[in-house]
Amino acid sequence: MRCHEACFHLWPPASGKLTIAKELSRITGLPVFHNHLIVDAVASVFPFGTDQFVRLREQMWLDVMREAAAAQRSLSFTFAPEPTVAAGFHNRVTDVVKAVGGSTIFVQLRTPFAELEKRIMATSRAEFGKLQSLTLLRELRADLEAAERAMPPGQVVIDTSVL
């Protein structure tokens, strides 16, 4: 991986994005930019999904990625597309990173929905206020799947149901 690449670990809640990013960091030293760090910071001031929350969350995500690429620092960003993320976010990320000489790799994690249902209530998900409700996961399924379809195909695809 070149020294200023943004590596995205994408797709659904409970698919293993943070687990894989941490292991990649352990092996390579690549820093993990966990999206919940920004989500939690902005949500401490503005309710999730409000206009202010959506705008500030994206601005902060993009600012960190732009600065990292400009400093020729690669990173691994964990991200789950969902309906409050503005359309075309992945294009804005690619553009911001490219504008300062970097590149972006999209890594898609595939996990059957039945496996997500098993993982969603894991106690480890509470650390960052991640979705832990099986009922809500099931209610959001169609919206999450639509948000996922709006993302580019992964340049690397990993089936995490066997890991």
Task: Give per-residue pLDDT as tens, 112-121.
Answer: 878 777 777 7
Which residues 6+ apart lie within 8 Å of 130 measured at CB? Answer: 13, 14, 36
Taking the alpha carbons at both ends of the chain, their separation in whole angstroms is 23
pLDDT tens column, 22-77: 888 999 898 999 988 999 999 999 999 999 999 999 999 999 999 999 999 999 99
Does the pLDDT of residue 4 top 60, yes or no?
no
Structural domain boundaries enclosing 155: 5-162
Domain count for the chain, please give it.
Answer: 1
Residues 87, 89, 93, CA angle at the centre, nearest 5°? 160
Q: Which residue has the higher pLDDT, 4 or 30?
A: 30
Q: pLDDT tens, 104-113?
A: 988 888 778 7
Give the C-alpha distances (Å, rounded to integers) separating 153 from 36, 80, 103, 110, 158. Answer: 23, 14, 16, 11, 12
| CATH classification of the domain holding 31 | 3.40.50.300
This prediction has a pTM of 0.77
**5/86 Cα distance (integer angstroms):** 22
> Shortest CA distance to 116 belongs to which of 144, 154, 90?
144
